[in-house]
Chain A
Amino acid sequence: MHLPTVRLAIACVAALLAGAALAATPGQPAPDFTVNDASGKPVKLSEFRGKHVVLEWTNPECPFVQKHYNAKNMQALQKEFGAKDVVWLSVNSTNRDHSEHKDGAQMAAWMQKQGGTPKAVLIDDASTTGRAYAARTTPHMFVIDPAGKVIYAGAIDDKRSANPADVKGANNFVRGALNESLAGKPVTIASTTPYGCSVKY
């Protein structure tokens, strides 16, 4: 039959037609990275293949980050899912040239003071990982499944404010995505628009 010929020819054209680049959006593989933690030890994302990973873009100077830490919301999430073997990485992509930049020691001290328990605080002070993920706000949350695919990207919750009182009663998208994925279910809300301060590139 002549079908294979047709198939081949069509494949050539289809190959030409495809090619729109996609990004670190839900459904796509999470870009791998190696970034030093607060103690200067390199951390590679792909080392955590087989586990869920949460990337939390953070900046202690940002009122929206303060909202979630002052309300103990972020710490509670880190603890809740740390217990479920989820790897939590807090990433500070504030550029080293920016006035809000904090070094590893400062970030470690801040996180300790907040009582946060992420697996690591990553000092992305060249902002490369932030750019690779197109992280635009603090906080900006990404959830990655054990296969290394982004399954959630966006806001931490649906209360777009800097008021700590709004944490109560908010629909936390990160918790929703993790609970669904841990239960083997597809993530219902996989993408939202993040809110917060701009990442200080």
Chain B
Amino acid sequence: MPHPPRPPPSALKPRFASFVRLALAGLVALLVVAPVAHAEPVRTPNVEAELVSERSALVPGQSATVALRLKIRDHWHTYWQNPGDSGLPTTLDWKLPGGIAAGPIQWPAPKALPAGPLVNFGYEGEVFHLVDLTVPATLPVGHPVTLAARADWLVCEDTCIPEGVDLTLTLPVATGTDAHPKWGVPIRATREALPRPIRGWTVTATGEGPKVRLVLAPPADAADPGAIRFFPFGEGQIEPSTAQTLARDGSRLILTLPVANQLAPGLTRVAGVLTAQNGLSGPRAATIDVPLAGTVVAGPKPLEAPTPKLDVAAPATSTLSLAAALAFAFGGGLLLNLMPCVFPVLSIKAMGFVRHHDARSTMHHEAIAYSVGVVLSFVLLALALVALRAAGEELGWGFQLQSPAVVTALALLFFVLALNLSGLFEFGMFAPQAVAGWTAKNRTLDAFLGGVLAVVVASPCTAPFMGAALGYAITQPVGVTVAVFVALGLGMALPFAALAWFPGWRRRLPKPGPWMERVKQVLAFPLYATVAWLAWVVGAQVDNDAVLRLALGLVMVAFAAWAWRAFRGGAARGFALAAAAGLVGAGVLMMPLLTGAVATAEARAAKSAVDEGWQAFSPVRVESLAAAGRPVFVDFTAAWCVTCQVNKRLVLNDPEVIAAFGRNNVALVRADWTRRDPEITQALAALGRNGVPVYVLHRPGKTPLVLPEVLQAGMIHDALSTL
């Protein structure tokens, strides 16, 4: 049943009792401090409204507090500054005489009011909307002033009715005043209960995809606050009707907030009111306003159970729960065994089992030693990274590969392993994959070193591959970081350890024979390919000369290996000297790379490898392009990142994709993280990432879209269609 939105003032009958009360109060006040405040309460069908003053008079030069008092019909409600799923906030439009100025409404903490499956934020019963007035010192004493305001509100039960009234409040102007006999107390009580900035508690907010995690760390003496709810100041941030969950982690409280389904762009801070059943070290309601770390994506639809589906265009959530991160790390570790850099090494090791038939206990020792080697190496890498970050280095996972020295050393290592597989030479105890010459005594040590080696050779693969889990890991407390890396190590160690542990499984392996030698030789080639790729990385990091240096150095190593083998095979002493000379030559050639003496080349090579059509990344450039209303696509990449290069070749350089970018007037920006770059590291951190690749489409007027790490042309087309 529709109601007239604004009843004519003549139809408004003041509630008699209230009038009598007011009149009596006025009479009393008159006797105490004449003259008296005079207001006109107004009744609509659902609300009794009036302007009331905390004190009986205005004092020139002193601020004063007045309030819009609404007494709302039972079971009906009006709205807070953010009305929630529906509704409108109450408004006041002042007309003030004599230079008096009114501040904004000071909103009492709201209640969550369910409307079917929807949730609104507002008030029931009696509510005072406090407004501070600035009273000029020049206001003449003795002349009453009339404050006028137009008040509009939406009042709802099941049905909603917009209402509005014109209100006035006449106050004497005096040199001194007392609390208003009737309204002084409730206004003061309202003020004392107003939400104020939280005190004593430390609050942090982290975006984790469709959720925001608020961590509330209490002061030492805090009592348990009981049930907590968060009310965001802004709309389109937190979904009003989806449950907020409260968990306890020691003394800390973790309130998980659902991100709005229709997420408004620019959610960079979490600001709003926290209400607590038993108070937050005192007040029942406090405000918070904290920066939001991590990234958020629009949450699921609120009104039905979300139906999970694999949507390739969906932004990959970069932030994970601990359990998920551990699971991904473990699974990723398992998959690492299949990596081209790891598989040859481990398969040779597996072939070792085929030949050996040892006592079970020996095999168990070996399985354990290998696992310890893997896990320990990962943990050491993690701790090194944590320590460097703590020392202020802007590093991310894959940092090992940002140094030409490490890449050179890896190229050398892979090359030596490949030569070994090719059969050019065999080496002794430090070669876990050497299939001959093992003795029972050093096999445990060999297994341990084999684990270390497996991690070293895996490192070019881990960076691109484990980005999300490791990115999560290193932004966490050290304990969590280590846990994730341990999970990664356990996953990687598992297949080999299982083979060692359960001899029965080994019976399923093919029978030993001459074929093993062939397989071994074939497996050398992925390693040579890896060397070629690492050489290219060095080229991207330093320059062409460095590639030549590295390649010639490797030739020298090959020469030395060949000469040494000939000498061991009975050739003249000269071959031994030749081998030594080859090693010295390799050392001379590669030493500048290994010692970082080429670092000066970095300044020269600050060319950033910008490709045609792409601009080099800087935060300012992205901002200015976006400000000009252009969509901006940012490719966070690095030469040492295999995934990045695959995506670049197969997707970003695809003529159709390039044409689609052109049609949509997309500005292309490439952030090259091949060498350390704090600006790029920070930009990645802002996206909740700690590694590359990351692909982001900044869309005018919308939240940026983060594309999956394994890119397909269709994903780009889908993303562009959202512009």
User: A-side interface residues toward B, CB under 8 Å?
Assistant: 1-3, 5-7, 9-27, 61-64, 66, 95, 98-100, 130-132, 134, 136-137, 147, 149, 153-154, 160-163, 186, 188-201
Contacts and interface: CB of A to CB of B under 8 A. Distances in A.
Secondary structure dominating the interface of A: loop
B86 A6 contact: no
A98 B209 CA distance: 36
Given A6-B461, A18-B316, A21-B307, A199 B160 contact: no
A160 B88 contact: yes
A188 B159 CA distance: 34
B86 A27 contact: no
B465 interface: yes
B710 A10 contact: yes
A198 B328 CA distance: 42
Interface string B84-102: 0111100000000000000
Nearest to A4: B646
28 contacts: A3-B646, A6-B339, A6-B464, A6-B643, A9-B335, A9-B339, A10-B464, A10-B465, A10-B709, A12-B335, A13-B328, A13-B466, A16-B331, A25-B298, A61-B159, A99-B159, A100-B158, A134-B304, A147-B721, A162-B162, A190-B701, A191-B236, A194-B86, A196-B86, A197-B86, A197-B87, A198-B116, A199-B118
A9 B701 CA distance: 36
Contact of A198 (B118, B261, B312): B118
B642 A6 contact: yes
Interface string B131-167: 0000000000000000000001010101111100000
A20 B315 contact: yes
Contacts of B263: 191
B264 interface: yes
Given A63-B2, A134-B302, 5 more contacts: A6-B461, A13-B332, A15-B310, A196-B86, A201-B117
B317 interface: yes
Contacts of B431: none
A153 B262 contact: yes
A26 B338 CA distance: 40
A19 B160 contact: no
A13 B335 contact: yes
Interface in B669-696: none
B308 interface: yes
8 closest pairs, A vs B, by CB?
A27-B722, A2-B340, A162-B162, A23-B301, A201-B116, A198-B86, A131-B303, A197-B160
Given A63-B162, A197-B156, A137 B86 contact: yes
Interface of B: 1-2, 5, 85-88, 115-118, 120, 152, 154, 156, 158-162, 209-210, 235-236, 261-264, 297-298, 300-304, 306-312, 314-317, 328, 331-332, 335, 338-340, 461, 464-466, 468, 526, 529-530, 642-643, 645-646, 664, 700-702, 708-710, 721-723
Contacts of B85: 136-137, 198
A63 B86 contact: no
Contacts of B316: 14, 17-18
A131 B304 contact: yes
Contacts of A10: 464-465, 643, 709-710
A143 to B, nearest CB: 14
B158 A98 contact: yes
A19 B314 contact: yes
Contact of B262 (A14, A99, A149, A191): A191
Contacts of B120: 198
Given A9-B465, A17-B316, A153-B262, A23 B160 contact: no
B496 to A, nearest CB: 17
A23 B115 contact: no
A126 to B, nearest CB: 12
A197 B85 CA distance: 9
A172 B458 CA distance: 57
Contact of B235 (A95, A99, A193): A193
A18 B303 contact: no
Contacts of A199: 86, 116, 118
B331 A7 contact: no
Most central of A1, A27, A196 by chain B CB within 10 Å: A27
Given A27-B721, A200-B116, A161 B310 contact: no
B324 to A, nearest CB: 9
Nearest to B461: A6
Contacts of A95: 116
Contacts of A130: 303
Contact of B210 (A20, A189, A191, A200): A20
Most central of B301, B311, B664 by chain A CB within 10 Å: B301
A61 B152 CA distance: 20
Contact of A61 (B2, B464, B702): B2
Nearest to B116: A201
Given A134-B261, A193-B262, A18 B310 contact: yes
Given A6-B461, A7-B710, A13-B335, A18 B314 contact: yes
